[in-house]
Amino acid sequence: MAGKPVIIDCDPGHDDAVALLLAVGSDAIDLRAVTTTFGNCSVEDATRNALQILTLAGATDVPVARGAAGALSGLSTLGNYVHGASGLDGPPMPAPAFDIVEEPAPAMMRRVIEKSSEPVTVVATGPITNVAQLLLDSPESKEGIREIIFMGGSTERGNHTPTAEFNTYADPEALDVVLQSGLPVRMVGLNLTHQALAAPAVVERMAAMHHTVGQTCAAWMGFFGASYNRIWEFDAPPVHDPCTVAALIDRDVIGWREAFVAVELEGKWTRGTTVVDLHGRYREQAPNAKVAITLDAERYWDLVLKSVDRLGRQS
Ligand code: BDR
Ligand code: CA
């Protein structure tokens, strides 16, 4: 059976990188395009990183387009303090074996959606600016979108600020467009991804693979883990972004709750914070999203490692 048509909009980033490997290595996903955004680094660095990751994965036929250099507001918040100067610091990466398609990310998304014979799933693992821009510029594209699944926000705490998660902080206006689009939306926030820890046993499984793809993943976890330990005192890094892709491959890997979700656009201290009404306190607000709550971590890592190993053996 052919995989689900998917576009991944990302800001790679160590965990975005693993999300790309998971998608490329799975038969359940038909990766139709990768679009890039500012976020963990500049959009130029994110684009080079995406080309290098896809080169490592042997997926040089996946079209890549560069997207937003900053949020809808014009501001550009960067996460280099987590991912290093390049956005993907750590192990050496292969030189890109292919180049981007010279068209803006929203234009490529629109083209891929129009061309597809079945609705396309849009996965967003960085600030969600490109997706919002697509919905603002080409609302007719909505008809060709099955759902938008994004990593961002939280039902609980933040990371970039005490209450706001990085991706939602970096472009809250864009997330607001997505949440109000009327499309099926799934939110994978920190409350979920903090269950996706690359514990030593997981990193050992990567390092024990006798190929560059596995060993590169292990080294990424080393860099990412050191950042998470230094900044947030985590013993192991939460590997956020692949949770979105895993949910598309295996419907039982994540448990969901329907809820009304909003994003704070103004608060003096809380801009970019997601407000998730899990208990229906805003009675007049109908649910507008499915919110990830529980992760089967063992199943998650088995999926990720299977893709990584498959790509490594092919290379
Ligand atoms: C998100 O921010 C970035 O550091 C990660 O790539 C992830 O998308 C987690 O807050
Ligand atoms: Ca990301």
Q: Where are the alpha helices (DSSP H) in 180-211?
A: 190-193, 200-207
Told to judge if 240 belongs to the known catalytic residues of this protein, a careful annotator would answer yes
> Phi/psi of residue 149, each to 5°?
-120, 125
**Distance in angstroms (rounded) separating the CA atoms of residues 309 and 292:** 27
**Residue that is written with structure tokens 């903090």 in the block:** 194
257-303 pLDDT, tens per residue? Answer: 999 999 999 999 999 999 999 999 999 999 999 999 999 999 999 99
Distances (CA, A) of 245 to 25, 30, 271, 303: 11, 11, 27, 10
> Phi/psi of residue 190, each to 5°?
-60, -30
The CATH number for 309's domain is: 3.90.245.10
User: Which ligand 1 atom is at minimum distance from the Cα of 193?
Assistant: 9
What ligand is nearest to the CA atom of residue 238? 1
What ligand is nearest to the CA atom of residue 8? 2
User: Which ligand 1 atom is at minimum distance from the Cα of 240?
Assistant: 7
- Say whether pLDDT at 148 is over 80: yes
Would you place residue 315 in the very low, low, confident or very high pLDDT band (cuts 50, 70, 90)?
confident
- Say whether pLDDT at 92 is over 90: yes
- Say whether pLDDT at 106 is over 90: yes
Task: Calculate how far, in angstroms, residue 13's C-alpha sits from the geometric centre of ligand 1.
Answer: 8
Mean pLDDT of 88-110: 98
DSSP label of 143: G
- Say whether pLDDT at 127 is over 80: yes
Mean pLDDT over each residue of the chain, to the nearest integer = 98
Which residue out of 160, 194, 240, 279 is catalytically annotated?
A: 240
pLDDT of residue 69: 98
Mean pLDDT of 213-233: 98
| Pocket flag, ligand 1, residue 155 (CB < 6 Å) | no
| Pocket flag, ligand 1, residue 303 (CB < 6 Å) | no
pLDDT of residue 2: 86
| Pocket flag, ligand 1, residue 40 (CB < 6 Å) | yes
Considering the entire predicted model, what is its pTM?
0.98
- Say whether pLDDT at 1 is over 80: no
| Pocket flag, ligand 1, residue 176 (CB < 6 Å) | no
Would you place residue 109 in the very low, low, confident or very high pLDDT band (cuts 50, 70, 90)?
very high
pLDDT of residue 21: 98
Find the helix packing angle between 297-314 and 14-24, rounded to 10°: 70
* Domain assignment of residue 297, given as a range: 4-314
Q: Which amino acid, one-letter code, is at 15?
A: D
Domain count, the chain: 1
**Residue owning the nearest CA to atom 10 of ligand 1:** 166
Percent of the chain past pLDDT 90, that is, above it, reads 99
What element of type H or E holds 277?
A: strand 274-277
| Pocket flag, ligand 1, residue 165 (CB < 6 Å) | yes
